[in-house]
Structure 1
């Protein structure tokens, strides 16, 4: 799977091997012996995995070594799963039999052949891992357990208000509202576009405008929010708008029928439609949608958010609102809230200088400020900050149009179990409203959650979720009646990051991707192109361990 997952897989192999080696598990002695040897080999490799994964980004040799090791580890995990499953099956089969002597791993007719075959397979697997480990031509540190312990000791209750604050966008909000309510606009329906690089907060800003109670709600008769993302399908967008207006799901309707229904609902009414995260560069598709929406009353508006000015100009907007990074004052205000306890900057001037030098690398992008600040919150000393700046941050290529390298830093600093939990989220579609409880159950099913005997795995999974949330990997949360987070989304850029780090290990099958690669381990299916971002979980399947 993704970087960081190998450590978890190694732990899983050691755990399964340990269970199979227990006296009460009736295995042929030769198989048990080989499993014990495999466990020892994996334990030795596990000790250097975290260091190898941290160094792979500067070494092609380490990256290739990890790829070979990943393939072998997954095969070993599958092999032990097969043996464990068969052991459990035989235990269930023989539980009701009177003759206790038949309670063995295999039936008398095939136990020897099967046992010999499994013994050979485990031995070959161990030899394969030994060969890969011996191939290592670089120095790695055996310090992973210490790092995990230090991280766990520093996990604190990071105020939720830090993650939810919106800073420095009041002027932008008022400027956009002023344009939307402009009484001098001549067209019945006109377009306003918010343009800016990923992570600047275009969606957040559009949301502030959309939810405005004093001006926007009073002015527009209808308000609809549609997340468009990569697939600009006119029919799907019409379905989503109609669903937003009627609060009803409309499925399996022809395009002509949808258009008729929509125009009946919006024609003659002053509406505001937000089309969020538009990537469409096809002018004809835009013209087709625009014709459908032209029946609104005077003052109707379409608010578009996009990362590129080219896309914005296709919509022929009455105005472009180019969103910039936060100014120095607001950037520092947000950074303080994320990086320091209670948002209080340190009194030490040299510490403040280091913080400001780090902040410059975030180029005023709120998402980068949140993630880097959230990462540094768990580093308490000035020397830790200085080492981070010199050894990690200084290696990032400064590029204001691509903030992913900065976000990747925050990912690199996650512990292995959090890395694999985050990367697994790449299986969900963009803008999907994820049920937190369902996600934790998926993590549990994959064996990602590590817990002690006296711990509840769901509680540990909730800790994992909150750790990622505090670091801004998740956002747009919904809470239940008790104030607990029940649903959430992943920022588009974070979704891009998850896809990047997961590589070919996870694949989503949809209208664009229809081929499953040989080494793919996890597959999700979108049964149809849905009319709502809230796809029923029963229609969104994840196949774990698919290979």
Structure 2
């Protein structure tokens, strides 16, 4: 038991250092293997207990039956207990052996990660408030583009929001998409997450399902495109294609075939990290997003860190918070992640620990989102880390069944 407790504390330090020290990653992978092996043994014990319970509940057998089944049952029980003892001994020895190596790797016991979180925010079933900071000009131009009524030669126009990951493309798109004036201006509205797996059949089906409100069972692209064409016929539509990576011009031409059925004034908004994607789709205008200013970044950080209560209880907090915002490269996603994390504690040492974490030294290609997201993951409670890892096996924008998640 002591090996498991100590291992769990050392695991916190190893998780932080594994990204910059390969030997630590190898040690961590092996340690996690033995933890998983321990979970398997626990499952075996639970299964054996259930089997024994079911066997004993099948009524009272005759004396002859008892005698006939006693010997193999005894041997089976003895064999299981012997194997179980060997497995436990093997796991404990491996954990003790690995913990003996922690000093050579420079690992120490920590208590910082996985601390209980303060529940400082009420939850609601309503959608998130997609308030944006520092994007007033872009938002105004996007609304002007969407609501423009000039005569068009084609039935639809495409506008693109371009910028690096985590810079707020999707948030800006959601803000204008949900604008009351925009909602009234279009007869048909659809939002589809395209992601990096560009499959014409899947995207067409997703658009159709978003418009009709029910899932189409057809697997025939021709059938799907004709249905989509019928839904758009002589209607003014707004379509958002979020997170597009496709650079295949012919694939885009095939996807957009049904869109020509819409009436003049229809609009498509594309969000993408690559300007080349916007060029291939003949997007005009293109809205290029840059990182927030220091003040706008701080405003966003404050909203997520101090919402629901006055946590700015130390005059040094703002100075540290602004430094963290700059560490985030003033990228909204990174700022929101760490703002939400730091909002759980009004503790100057905790904030300094985040500011000076070695995880900021991770390679990040001038994009500070990953170190910030890794920090927010590192400080999750253990049970949420496992939940997060489980959710990571699903594709982007996948609707996870709540019961399935809870059962896990």
TM-score by length of 2: 0.85
Residue 272 of structure 2: aligned partner: 306
State the Cα deviation string for residues 180-224 of structure 1 (Å, max 9, x = none).
Answer: 23333443222111111222222222222222222x233322212
The answer as to whether partners of 2:146 and 2:267 remain within 8 angstroms in 1 is yes
Aligned to 1:286, the other structure's residue is in SS state: helix
Residue 187 of structure 1: aligned partner: 154
Which residue of 132, 138, 141 maps to 1:167? 132
Describe the shift of the 1:106–1:90 C-alpha distance in structure 2 as closer, same or farther (beyond 3 A): farther
The answer as to whether partners of 1:57 and 1:63 remain within 8 angstroms in 2 is yes
The answer as to whether partners of 1:199 and 1:365 remain within 8 angstroms in 2 is yes
**Aligned counterparts of 2:382 and 2:319: Cα–Cα separation in 1:** 31
Describe the shift of the 1:265–1:355 C-alpha distance in structure 2 as closer, same or farther (beyond 3 A): closer
Describe the shift of the 1:378–1:231 C-alpha distance in structure 2 as closer, same or farther (beyond 3 A): same
Which structure 1 segments of 5+ residues have no match?
Answer: 1-38, 443-547
**Aligned counterparts of 1:105 and 1:52: Cα–Cα separation in 2:** 49
Describe the shift of the 1:435–1:94 C-alpha distance in structure 2 as closer, same or farther (beyond 3 A): closer
**Aligned counterparts of 2:9 and 2:324: Cα–Cα separation in 1:** 32
**Aligned counterparts of 2:299 and 2:107: Cα–Cα separation in 1:** 39
Does 2:334 correspond to 1:368?
Answer: yes
Aligned to 1:183, the other structure's residue is in SS state: coil
Which residue of 239, 243, 247 maps to 1:277? 243
Which residue of 199, 203, 210 maps to 2:177? 210
Residue 63 of structure 1: aligned partner: 25
Aligned to 2:268, the other structure's residue is in SS state: strand
Residue 199 of structure 1: aligned partner: 166
Report the alpha carbon displacement of residue 339 of structure 1 after superposing the two structures with TM.
2.0
Which residue of 130, 134, 138 maps to 2:105? 138
The answer as to whether partners of 1:90 and 1:106 remain within 8 angstroms in 2 is no
Which structure 2 segments of 5+ residues have no match?
Answer: none
Does 2:345 correspond to 1:379?
Answer: yes
**Aligned counterparts of 1:131 and 1:429: Cα–Cα separation in 2:** 38
Residue 14 of structure 2: aligned partner: 52
- Which deviates more, 391-400 or 170-179? 391-400
State the Cα deviation string for residues 80-120 of structure 1 (Å, max 9, x = none).
Answer: 42233123312321243367x99999713544444444444
Ranked by relative contact order (alpha carbons within 8 Å, sequence separation 6 or more), the top structure is 2
- Which deviates more, 274-283 or 361-370? 361-370
Report the alpha carbon displacement of residue 396 of structure 1 after superposing the two structures with TM.
5.3
The answer as to whether partners of 1:392 and 1:409 remain within 8 angstroms in 2 is no
Describe the shift of the 1:131–1:273 C-alpha distance in structure 2 as closer, same or farther (beyond 3 A): same
What does residue range 114-513 of structure 1 map to in structure 2 within 5 Å?
A: 114-136=80-102, 137-144=104-111, 151-152=115-116, 155-158=118-121, 164=129, 166-168=131-133, 169-184=135-150, 185-214=152-181, 216-340=182-306, 342=308, 346=312, 350-392=316-358, 395=361, 399-401=365-367, 403-442=369-408
Does 2:38 correspond to 1:76?
Answer: yes
Report the alpha carbon displacement of residue 253 of structure 1 after superposing the two structures with TM.
4.6
Report the alpha carbon displacement of residue 371 of structure 1 after superposing the two structures with TM.
1.0
**Aligned counterparts of 2:78 and 2:123: Cα–Cα separation in 1:** 59
Which residue of 83, 86, 94 maps to 2:56? 94
**Aligned counterparts of 2:362 and 2:6: Cα–Cα separation in 1:** 33
The answer as to whether partners of 1:191 and 1:316 remain within 8 angstroms in 2 is yes
**Aligned counterparts of 2:345 and 2:358: Cα–Cα separation in 1:** 14
Aligned to 2:18, the other structure's residue is in SS state: helix
Report the alpha carbon displacement of residue 409 of structure 1 after superposing the two structures with TM.
1.3
**Aligned counterparts of 2:206 and 2:72: Cα–Cα separation in 1:** 56
**Aligned counterparts of 2:71 and 2:332: Cα–Cα separation in 1:** 58
